[in-house]
Structure 1
């Protein structure tokens, strides 16, 4: 735990010294939020039966998940830098727990994720987003976003370890940012062609978005909450095992 805490502090120092990365991770979701609300919101919102106001309420949950998916890309890059620039070899010569390096990356990424989520949510509130969540719903939302960020962060760590270079690590997590577009994040799935609709309704991000939307707007979540948590647990387990195995193999070289 002491070693993990030290590695966590290392990541916090990186966040402090290089704030431009966090700003970029916040800026892209905010741009998409403003773009979709003010350019497409009138047309899409009319289909939802409430105009631009209805669309900002519909869109914000998808943007929040898009924010998480974009933020973990920085984790993959950071891990790849450690794996390729020799710092791991230096840590191997010290009396520290090897897994603490990965734990530090995960905890640092969670902090960065919630900074980005808070900033994007604040902008959404400024442009008209009006949640109906009570204290229990906000608490459940916090738990769900933590589970999602934890799962995707471990996946990003595994991708960063598997990458041969920093450039590769910057590209491999990009599919995570596309999944909200191919789900219910930006438009209802029943407006999509049948083949795309089948994919959208069965990919992991759709039940997560629907759960976030239901918690924020008070519309009910049905079975999507259990499905979302099951996806988070499965992604976390597989990614953790993949990351641990890859780290041991590369650190032993």
Structure 2
């Protein structure tokens, strides 16, 4: 294991051997996740430190600079950091980490048990109860899409709190939109319908054409562009799904174009 070479895209890691495990430094992790600042991951950790255990991150002595510690993350810790990261490359990095855990390091990523998923299951139950127009199948599809899994048990145990937070965000978003009087529901507004129509189309172009071109050019904006696009698409897709659940199958203000979403992320 000491001879294991790890690299992600153009970032070559210098793994730290600690407690018979492979750990990566916060600064290298920041670079791999597309941050410009080397302390970006440390800031991500500081904002979410209660979600990490000692098996995920530790502060060790810096061999090059006495009296200055180095924050390191185990591979599972790296995966959790990438869950919190908002960069465009974070999704690909999460896949890479899981692949390393499963294949190269020989630490299979076990599926979670029903009891371990109970907080997330409760959150999904609350989401369905609060929104009324959203069934369980659609609710779980939203979670699967956000975490790029086919089934809820594939979300790592360490990421369950992140998934719960995401579902509670959906509860607030859906509740604010579905509890309004009929005349005030946003998907009935012409300007909102334009966004619901164009954002998925624009997201598809950015994902398939613009983002690859920016990546080839090694543009520093590539991560930011794809991250913003993904966020905008999530909200547009949600509006389209809510409208569909409320019985609207076509954009009433746009000449009857059918509702559509883009799920290519």
TM-score range for the pair, normalised by the shorter chain length:
under 0.3
Structure number with greater Rg is 2
**More strand per residue: 1 or 2?**
2
Instruction: Normalising by structure 2, report the TM-score.
Output: 0.24
